[in-house]
């Protein structure tokens, strides 16, 4: 899967509309609120990557965070976030950008967020590592990074991944996949790419890109989410890492 295909998927009107509806229908998850309030101070300058139409950023604003910048690779997502921001009369900045090559100076941000498994929508492991290096570059020493992933070792999809691993061993994986864990799923808006890692993979990626791993935990261990949140997305794993400087 090529990055341009991922960008094209998220620029589709139907996908943008789904994310827009989630701003009011879903809002900030209970688990996200707990994690972010634990890590970040209200006066921190925060970078939210993969911001979509602003679901997390607007939730943070409503919690009293005022120094927020949302970045998304899909320009139409960013335009919709800006529109909602004007309607709500909030003061959040949104910008189109690529997490693998951020247009910021070193150490600009006090913390960073890559929510709703956004890091895993970047094709190819080295590109995901580029994003982690870039986030570390633009955050200050001691800054926290919070992000989420799915988990390949999951009871719900156990049989599928056992079979998928065998397909890879036999060279029979689906076209367009670069690594074991890649998934191109059918969606109402066409093929949807996401990488489903194992825990050890993320630990290796954090170490390789200079982050200090702090903790990880399933969403279900952090909060009992509403039905809307559970419908919005499957259970995921929260990861917390620190920029050691």
187-238 tens-digit pLDDT: 999 999 999 999 999 999 999 999 999 999 999 999 999 999 999 988 999 9
Global pTM value: 0.96
pLDDT recorded at residue 1:
81
pLDDT recorded at residue 233:
87
Q: Return the residue matching tokens 């094709």.
A: 123
Q: Which structure tokens are listed for 106?
A: 């070193």
pLDDT recorded at residue 205:
98
pLDDT recorded at residue 2:
87
Rounded (5°) CA angle 55-61-66:
135
pLDDT recorded at residue 86:
98
Q: Return the residue matching tokens 């076209």.
A: 175
pLDDT recorded at residue 155:
79
CB 73 within 8 A of CB 99: yes
- Find all residues with CB under 8 Å of 135, minimum gap 6, and list them: 47, 49, 99, 102, 112, 114, 145
Which residues does the chain have with pLDDT short of 70? Answer: none
Alpha helices by DSSP H, 188-226: 199-208, 219-222
């Amino acid at each position: 899967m090529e990055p341009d295909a991922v960008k094209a998927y998220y620029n589709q009107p139907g996908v943008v509309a789904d994310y827009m509806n989630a701003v009011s229908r879903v809002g900030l998850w209970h688990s996200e609120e707990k994690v972010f309030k634990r890590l970040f101070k209200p006066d921190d300058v925060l970078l939210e990557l993969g911001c979509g139409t602003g679901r997390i950023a607007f939730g943070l604003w409503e919690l009293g965070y005022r120094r927020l910048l949302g970045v998304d690779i899909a320009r139409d997502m960013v335009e919709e976030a800006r529109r909602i921001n004007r309607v709500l009369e909030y003061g959040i900045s949104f910008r189109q950008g690529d997490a693998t090559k951020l247009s910021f100076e070193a150490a600009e941000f006090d913390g960073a967020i890559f929510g709703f498994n956004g890091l895993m929508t970047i094709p190819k492991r080295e590109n995901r590592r580029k994003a982690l290096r870039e986030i570390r570059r633009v955050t200050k020493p001691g800054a926290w990074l919070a992000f989420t992933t799915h988990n390949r070792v999951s009871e719900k999809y156990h049989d599928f991944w056992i079979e998928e691993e065998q397909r890879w061993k036999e060279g029979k994986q689906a076209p367009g996949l670069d690594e074991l864990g890649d998934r191109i799923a059918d969606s109402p808006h066409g093929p949807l790419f996401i990488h489903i890692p194992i825990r050890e993979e993320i630990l290796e990626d954090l170490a390789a890109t200079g982050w200090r791993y702090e903790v990880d935990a399933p969403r279900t261990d952090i909060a009992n989410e509403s039905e809307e949140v559970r419908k919005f997305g499957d259970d995921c794993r929260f990861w917390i890492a620190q920029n050691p400087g």
